[in-house]
């Protein structure tokens, strides 16, 4: 066992990162926005020069902005091929600007023993450089196969379970494209699992799979429109647990159950009805 549970509490030095208008536009296309060029609700996310339209940024763009790689060096050594993305949560303190610079501090906030593997939770907090005020937080967890079994705390079970006594209040159908992963990777995640058929075969897949955070972005688009009237300034938080891979070109269905005036739980299904994101929660500002 090479994971060091005592790494909990380790904090990185602040890391600065920046983005421009085109980065936000590319991300939006990477998570499926703009498939209907005549859809006025998404034109603001995929163009910067449309008449009487001001560019805005999808809230889930926050997941690609902070650099948290440095803090992982404190948790010990492990085989990177055994790491899979477990969960993702964003907390948005205000609307993301079209262009900006942030400083991000990342912390190892938990390491749990799941027996057959370890779960490492990293929390990053990003501040705007211009004003020093919080912009967003990202909490991600990674499951590392083969690194559990030291007798540590198993950690909490995920919340956000969908109701089993009623049908969803809304079901939104989405369509990914065959080249979706090739576009999404240009926003920063160049893992060949999502682009190289040979590498995907080594991981047990007959073709490259879609990034989990791309599926998360598709889900976020649907929830933004359904629950926040398409206004990115209203989305306050979004979480989800990745439970099954998606293949580029596959259709998705986001099922939503409202739990309050500005809160809901959701899950995302693949084309065959399997759950690909579960334990999902979303909250919007009134």
- Residue where one domain finishes, among candidates 129, 145, 161: 145
Asked whether residue 103 is domain-assigned, the answer is yes
- Position 121 scores a pLDDT of 96
Based on the domain organization, do 176 and 90 belong to the same domain? no
Q: What is the domain-level CATH number for residue 79? A: 3.10.129.10
- Whole-prediction pTM value? 0.95
- Position 159 scores a pLDDT of 61
130 flagged as catalytic = no
Based on the domain organization, do 16 and 113 belong to the same domain? yes
**In 3D, which of 50, 61, 74 has the Cα closest to residue 24?**
61
Based on the domain organization, do 100 and 174 belong to the same domain? no
Q: Which of 113, 137, 194, 211 is catalytic?
A: 194
Asked whether residue 21 is domain-assigned, the answer is yes
Based on the domain organization, do 21 and 106 belong to the same domain? yes
Based on the domain organization, do 48 and 134 belong to the same domain? yes
Contact 57, 96 (CB under 8 A): yes
Contact 118, 147 (CB under 8 A): yes
Based on the domain organization, do 44 and 87 belong to the same domain? yes
Asked whether residue 151 is domain-assigned, the answer is no
Asked whether residue 158 is domain-assigned, the answer is no
Asked whether residue 193 is domain-assigned, the answer is yes
Helix, strand, or coil (residue 35): coil
Contact 280, 246 (CB under 8 A): no
pLDDT digits (tens, 9 = 90+) for 175-200: 999 999 999 999 999 999 999 999 99
Based on the domain organization, do 112 and 212 belong to the same domain? no
Q: How many domains are there within the chain?
A: 2
CA 9 – CA 102 distance, rounded (Å): 22
93 flagged as catalytic = no
Asked whether residue 262 is domain-assigned, the answer is yes
Question: What residue numbers bound the domain in which 107 lies?
Answer: 5-145
Based on the domain organization, do 259 and 188 belong to the same domain? yes
Residue-level pLDDT, tens digit, the chain, 286 residues = 588 899 999 999 999 999 999 999 999 999 999 998 888 899 999 999 999 999 999 999 999 999 888 888 888 888 877 788 999 999 999 999 999 999 999 999 999 999 999 999 999 999 999 999 999 999 999 998 889 989 899 988 766 678 888 999 999 999 999 999 999 999 999 999 999 999 999 888 999 999 999 999 999 999 999 999 999 999 999 999 999 999 999 999 999 999 999 999 999 999 999 999 999 999 999 8
Q: Which of 113, 189, 211, 278 is catalytic?
A: 189
- Position 131 scores a pLDDT of 95
Based on the domain organization, do 181 and 232 belong to the same domain? yes
Based on the domain organization, do 220 and 276 belong to the same domain? yes
Asked whether residue 154 is domain-assigned, the answer is no
Residues 6+ apart with CB under 8 A from 98: 21, 24, 48, 55, 56, 57
| Alpha-carbon torsion angle 78, 80, 85, 86, nearest 10 | -20
- Position 158 scores a pLDDT of 63
Asked whether residue 24 is domain-assigned, the answer is yes
- Residue where one domain finishes, among candidates 128, 145, 162: 145
């Amino acid at each position: 066992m090479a994971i060091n549970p005592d790494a909990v509490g380790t904090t990185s030095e602040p890391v600065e990162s920046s983005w421009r208008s085109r980065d936000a536009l590319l991300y939006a296309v990477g998570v499926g926005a703009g498939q209907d060029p005549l859809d006025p609700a998404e034109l603001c996310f995929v163009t910067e020069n449309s008449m009487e339209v001001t560019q805005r940024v999808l809230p889930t763009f926050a997941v690609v902005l902070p650099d948290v790689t440095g803090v992982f060096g404190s948790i010990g050594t492990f085989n990177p091929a055994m790491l899979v993305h477990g969960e993702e949560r964003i907390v948005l303190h205000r609307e993301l600007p079209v262009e900006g610079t942030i400083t991000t501090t990342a912390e190892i906030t938990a390491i749990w023993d799941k027996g057959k593997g370890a779960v490492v939770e990293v929390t990053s907090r990003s501040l705007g450089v211009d004003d020093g005020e919080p912009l967003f937080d990202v909490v991600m967890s990674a499951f590392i196969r083969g690194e559990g079994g030291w007798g540590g705390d198993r950690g909490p079970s995920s919340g956000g379970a969908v109701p089993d006594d009623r049908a969803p209040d809304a079901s939104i159908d989405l369509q990914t494209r065959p080249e979706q992963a090739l576009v999404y990777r240009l926003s920063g995640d160049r893992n060949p699992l999502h682009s190289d058929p040979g590498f995907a075969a080594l991981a047990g897949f007959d073709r490259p799979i879609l990034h989990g955070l791309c599926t998360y972005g598709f889900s976020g688009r649907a929830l933004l429109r359904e629950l926040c009237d398409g206004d990115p300034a209203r989305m306050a938080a979004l979480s989800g647990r990745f439970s099954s891979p998606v293949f580029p070109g596959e259709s998705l269905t986001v099922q939503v159950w409202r739990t309050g005036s500005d809160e809901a739980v959701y899950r995302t299904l693949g084309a065959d009805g399997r759950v690909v994101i579960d334990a999902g929660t979303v909250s919007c500002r009134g």
